[in-house]
Structure 1
Amino acid sequence: MTSRQAPKPTKDDNAQAQAASHPSLIALVRLVARSAAASDFDRAEAKREAGHDEAD
């Protein structure tokens, strides 16, 4: 059997890694996550106000 080695990173791979750790990208991901959580909360609140109490 032959052992397989992981491919060596290319310039494009390095650029993607740098982009993934870019502060504005991280901030954007956090903003989207907060927005999704707020939407979930708003939907649950609307259900409660409509009289559909459900334990989530």
Structure 2
Amino acid sequence: MLRWAIIFGIIALVAAIFGFGGISEGAESIAKVLFFIFLVGFVLVLIAGKSIFKN
């Protein structure tokens, strides 16, 4: 998930450099959504792992 967020972020950056505003904005919004989904999943896995492996 994080890999896709980085890829879309790079696409947005390249599109912005070449002046493609619509493509840049679309790729940026996709990258943001994927990054936040990754963060939520990461936090959930940390919480689940902490509760499963209590010492």
Q: TM tier, shorter chain?
A: 0.5 to 0.7
Quote the sequence identity (%): 6
TM-score between the two structures when normalised by the length of structure 2: 0.54
SS in 2 for 1:51: helix
In structure 1, the partner of 2:41 is 41
Between Structure 1 and Structure 2, the one with more helix by share is 2
Scaled by the length of structure 1, the TM-score of the pair is 0.53
Bigger radius of gyration: 1
- Which is bigger in relative contact order (C-alpha 8 A, separation at least 6)? 2
Q: CA RMSD in A?
A: 1.5
Number of equivalences = 32
- Structure 2: gaps (5+ residues): 1-20
